[in-house]
Every structure is written in C-alpha cells, then in structure tokens.
Structure 1
Amino acid sequence: MDFWKGKNVLVTGCTGFLGSYLTKELENKGANVVGLVRDLIPNSNLYSDPKISNVCMVNGSLEDLEIIERALGEHEIDTVFHLAAQAIVGVANRNPISTFKANIMGTWNILEACRRSPLVKRVIVASSDKAYGDQEHLPYDEDMPLQGNHPYDVSKSCADLLAQTYYHTYRLPVCITRCGNLYGGGDLNFNRIIPQTIKSVLDGKAPVIRSDGTFIRDYFYVEDAVSAYLLLAEKMESLNLQGEAFNFSNEIQINVKELVQKILDLMGSELKPIVLNKGENEIKHQYLSSKKAMESLNWYPNFNIEEGLIKTISWYKNFIEKGLR
C-alpha cells in the first residue's frame, strides 16, 4: 500500500478494459492517478467506482506528443502505465494504418515524452503474447524473437522493440509485459469470444465462433493482470529489472470450442454454438511460460479459468440486467 501512496501515476487507456481495473486499484492504494483519454466510453467499468471523481482526465490521443508531454510535466508524473492500444485483431486487419498509428506511433510518443521528463522513474509498456508471432516451439518464453506477421501482431512486436530500444539507447527505466488473452467483467468489446458468448446466452441466442474453433489460446483473468503490473512496477527498481520483458499467464491451453462449452456449462445453457470457420490472419496456437515472473517476482495467478469465468459471468449478468449494452 505504501509504495503507491501519493505517487503521481499516468495510465493511458484508463477507461479501457485493463485500464479501468488498474486505475481503480491504484486509487485504492492511494496513488494520484492521471488518465489519458481519447474517446468517452460512457459504460466503462471505471465509472462504476465513486472514486473516479479523484482521477484527473487528460483529453488527447497517443498520436499527440505535445499532449503527452504536457500531462507528464504539469502533473509531475512519477510512473507511467502505457496500456492504450487498438486491441482488436479484426479491426487491425481492416484498418492497419490506424492500428499502426495508435500502437506504434503512440508507443514511441509515450517513450519519447518519458525520456524528456526528468521526473519519470518507471514506465510499464503493455505488449502482448501476439508479439511473438507464430513460433515452432511452445510455450513462448521471453528469449524468443518477436516476429509478428499480421497487422495487430506486428504492431505489438514493434511497440515491444521500441520499448527495448529506449532502454538500451537512452536507459529509460522501462519494463514490458506480455500477457495472454485478457478476460473479465468490463470488457465492452463484444466481438471477443468471452463477452460475446456470455451476452449471447443471456439474450437466448446461440454464440458464434468466428474461426473453426480449434485455435488454442492462453486466457488470463484481468485481476491477475492488475496484480502482475503493479508488482512489476514496484520491484523493477529494487531488483534492477529495467529493460526486461515478462510473460504473465496462468499457463493454460484451451481451444475456442472448449472455452465456449465451459461458459455454456457454467451458465447452465443447452445452446449450441454456431461455427463460421472464417478466422484468418490469426495464429493457431499460443501459450506463455510465466516461469521468469514466478522466479524473479514471486508472482503467481490467483484465479483459475473456472473461477475467473464465474466472476466474469456474474459481472455481465449485472451489467445487462441494468439495461446496459
């Protein structure tokens, strides 16, 4: 608790899925949180907490370096969590340029602004397991090359390498996180498989699987991600971790069909999923090793897939019962 008390922290993407949870936890720990917000998201999970009134909102986009520099300077920022991104694979395939601008240009703007700010002591950049691309051997570990092939994957590979560049060239105190597919209550991107499936069941409709259902992913509960981000930021200076990347995962492997069926079972539904078999420009099989985080940080996830899904289903039931969509 004492580590964050009174610290000035910038969170990009604070109204997003992970950002809303991280912002609320930082507030609970006594930090002074500044959020960089491009678009108003009225139903953001962030606004469910009355403490949101304590968060200072800076309106601007990642592509605007001057806005970022002003936010860092005027609010005397000590720590930066760079979470904001265009995070939908399908959108990236349709609109690669806007994705590259947000995810690549946006990252170099954050890093450059932090480099110029004398008060910034730690920066956490959110990369992704997608940055590894398609690898012959699994699980992914932090020593593997970054080799995304498709627009979203490439944008995360580039952002990740930029963070490494700013450490090796300028000694910027930055660490990189690579997480599996985040899930939990508050994800308002209903084209993602978990919120889409839950919403479909609550609406009495068959869930839709875009791919053939055999894609294997590593699903990671959002509250575990928050604990990972905070612990890494807290320990990066004392353990001299600057410039390093960490995988965070509960190291499960589950394909989309199995995941959807698990949700249907937990919700007591007899609906059968519709399989479109239209997935493209996606990696077939992904999962991470968290050995480094467990050994270096003594970090371990608190939720297994069933526990995380039960909490997630409960959140969406409450959300939809309130007439929100």
Structure 2
Amino acid sequence: MTDMWQGRSCLVTGGAGFGGSHLVAELVDRGAEVTVVDRDPIPGKPLEDMGVEDAITFVQGDLRDREMVQDLVADGDFDVVFHLAADPIVANSIREPADVVDTNVRGTTELLEAIRVSPTTPLFIFASSGAYYGDNFDPTPIPEDQVPGPASSLYGPSKVAAEMVVRGFGKAFGIPHASCRFMNTYGPGDRHESRLVPRALAQLAAGDEYDFGDRDDGSTRLDFLYVGDMARAYMSAAEHLERGGTESAFNFGTATLTSVRDVAERLSLAYDGKEREPLFRGIRTGPPRQKRLEVSRAESVLGWTAATSLDEGLAATVAWYLAAVPAS
C-alpha cells in the first residue's frame, strides 16, 4: 500500500461492525483520521477487539436520515467514503425483505445524495457482495462482467440495486467510485451465529452438539475470505481511484472452493485438536450450490491477492475467540 492514508479524512459507514472494524483498524494504523457512523450506539466490540475505539470519531445515526447524513458529509470534508453499512444477514432478508431492501438501497441513495450536494467530492468505495451474482451451481470462477442472476433471498438483489445506484450517481455526478464484491468473509470479531464460523465456535465452546441445522446438507462449496484480506481490498480499491483508475467493479476472494462441512471439520481441529462429525440436516434437492469469483482483475489492476490461507485464518479466529469471548 502507498502512504496516501497519512492524514486523510475517511468516513466508514457501518464501521462499528465486524468487517468495518477491521477496515477502521487498518486505516488508523496507516495514519488516517477516521469517522465511523453506525445506527446502533457504539458497541464495546468489535471496535474494542481492534483496539481503536478511542482513536476514531463516532457518530450514531441511520443513513436513511437525510438531514443527519447531509450534515455529516458536509461537515466532515472527507477524502474517502467507505460505505459498508447494510443489513448483511440473509435470514433477515427472508423474514423482513422490505426492511432489508430499504436499509441497503435507500441508505446508499441518501449517502450518495449527501455527497452530490456537498462542497467536496470524496472517493466512494462500496461494499458489494458475491451475492450480486445470485445463486450458483457451477464451480467455474465468476467474472465481473457476468450479469446478476436469480437469488433465493432479497439480500443479493438489494446489493445489486444499491450497486446500480452507486454507478448511476458516479456517472451522472462525477463521483469516483468502485464496488467491491466479496465472497464469504470470516475472522476475528464476528459473533453473528447465523453464519457458519461463529455458530461453530459457539457450539464448540458450549460443548453442544455440533449441529448446523437444516439450511444445508454440508455439500455447499464456497470461497471463504479472511477479513484482514477484505480490509486490504477496500484500501486497494481506493488507492486505485486515487491514481485515476477507471475500473469500477472488483471481485475479491481466494478463488478456492471449500465445502461448508470441510470448514466445520477444520474448525473443530483448530479449536482443540478433536475430530467431530458436523451435523448438516438439510435435504439436497438438486446439485450442490457452488460459488467462487474470478479475481484476476484485482490481482492485475490493484496488485491485491488474498494473503491468508483458510487454515491460517481459522486458527487466528479460534485464538481470538478463546481470548475474547467468555466461556459459557
């Protein structure tokens, strides 16, 4: 990475969350001045896990609040905006689809509108998702120019719509922008047990049955990306815009497929060296889901590659969990 971050004013929406806290820590470490906006009161974790809660400016607010976000952007005079705020929980998009779409799309629109009417124009980095491409059953890596596909929840379509809004504002109003499409991200700080790795760790710590319910039969194969590599990816995209780059969408991942059953088995070994048989109670009704992204554009244009192997990342996540999460 370059030294462009020293003294730069950065806004990170959703920066108090799992992925955002890692990005915030990287920015602080590089000398940036960071403002975090989150709709929930500032939590002790995961920013506390990163040791940066006292090194940032925190603003509580919902991006759908037009007056709040316009004041924030106008007063902040930001050089770079990293837009991570969203509802990323797939189950929420099934239970409350309208609310998830409203949060993810309208929140993005209000933030870009605030930038449009502000006196300065920051670089804009959008946290998109591999869900952009919809459900997938083909192991072939997906390139950035593949069109969005059908999805079994509203999360993916909400990210597609938000990304279209980003592109529209970028082209119409000259906002330098890049969208970062990530595969399944894991790592220290993630406590949301709807996701595979936090659920596994919670069950291992509690001594519960190693049971992953009926959402999957264990055969789904995905690309798992370590959260530290994700943080570097965001910054690499911003550096690309700083250099005048024009590519506006990048895939990030390891380009490796791993079954969810294999991840659960590796986590058990990383946790205490014991082999456990994970229970996946779903019934397969067709070919297994498979998804990995073609990442050659990020490698060639940004100079970014995933630096953390799955075993290294799982070991780091287990070490964090044992140190940070009280035993039950």
Q: Normalising by structure 2, what TM-score?
A: 0.92
1:265-323 CA deviation, whole Å, 9 max, x = no partner? 2221233222221799xx92211111000011111111011111110111111112x45
Does the Cα contact within 8 Å between 2:130 and 2:183 map onto a contact in 1? yes
Matches within 5 A, 1:8-19: 8-19=9-20
Instruction: Give the deviation of 1:248 after TM superposition.
Output: 0.6
What corresponds to 1:212 in structure 2?
217
From 293, 296, 299, the equivalent of 2:301 is: 296
Structure 1 segment 132-151 matched on structure 2, within 5 A: 132-135=133-136, 138-149=140-151, 150-151=153-154
Contact 2:121 2:175 in 1 (8 A): no
- Larger CA deviation: 86-95 vs 117-126: 117-126
Map 1:148-227 onto structure 2 (within 5 A).
Answer: 148-149=150-151, 150-210=153-213, 211-227=216-232
Contact 1:209 1:256 in 2 (8 A): no
Deviation at 1:218, TM superposition (A): 1.0
* Farther-moved stretch of structure 1 (44-53 vs 64-73): 44-53
Give per-residue Cα distances to partners, 1:152-191, cap 9 Å, x unaligned.
1111111111111122222211100001101001012112
Summarize deviations over 1:238-258 as a string: whole Å, max 9, x none: 14226x100011111011111
1:236 maps to a residue whose letter is: L
Distance change (3 Å), C-alpha of 1:10 and 1:143: same
Residues 41, 279 of structure 1: CA spacing in aligned structure 2 closer, same or farther, 3 A cutoff? Answer: farther
Task: Give the Å deviation of 1:40.
Answer: 2.6
Gaps of 5+ in 2: none
Does residue 1:44 correspond to 2:45, yes or no? Answer: yes
Q: CA deviation at 1:109?
A: 1.2
Count of aligned positions: 320
Between stretches 303-312 and 254-263, larger displacement belongs to: 254-263
Q: What secondary structure, in the 3-state scheme, does the structure 1 residue paired with 2:162 have? A: helix
* Cα offsets for 1:41-94 (capped at 9, x unmatched): 634221234442231111110211221111111121111000011011111111
Distance 1:49 1:129 in 2: 26
Letter in 1 for 2:157: V
**2:311 match:** 306
The 10-residue stretch of structure 1 (49-58 or 29-38) with the greater mean CA deviation from structure 2 = 49-58
Give the percent of matched residue pairs that are identical in Structure 1 and Structure 2.
Answer: 31
Moved more, 295-304 or 46-55: 46-55
Instruction: Specify the code of the residue in structure 1 equivalent to 2:171.
Output: H
Q: CA deviation at 1:148?
A: 4.4
Q: In structure 1, what is the Cα distance between the partners aligned to 2:267 and 2:136? A: 29
Contact 2:265 2:275 in 1 (8 A): no
- SS at the partner of 1:54? coil
2:144 alignment partner AA: E
- Secondary structure of 1:246's aligned partner: strand
Paired residues of 1:206 and 1:272 also in contact (CA < 8 A): no
Cα distance between partner residues in 2 of 1:193 and 1:292: 28
* 1:233 aligned partner: 238
Distance 2:84 2:74 in 1: 19
Is the CA contact 2:74–2:114 (under 8 Å) kept in the aligned structure 1?
Answer: no
Quote the Cα distance in structure 1 between the aligned partners of 2:268 and 2:137.
32
Residue 175 of structure 1 aligns to a residue whose secondary structure is strand
Q: Secondary structure at the match of 2:41?
A: coil
Contact 1:4 1:31 in 2 (8 A): yes
Structure 1 portions without partners, runs of 5+: none
Alpha-carbon offset, residue 135 of structure 1: 4.7
Q: Deviations over 1:191-249 (max 9, x none)?
A: 2111110221122122222311111211100000111111110121314226x100011
Structure 1 counterpart of 2:31, one-letter code: G
Give the structure 1 partner of residue 270 of structure 2.
266
Secondary structure of 1:247's counterpart equals strand
Give the match for residue 83 of structure 2: 82
CA–CA separation in structure 1 for the residues paired with 2:77 and 2:190: 30
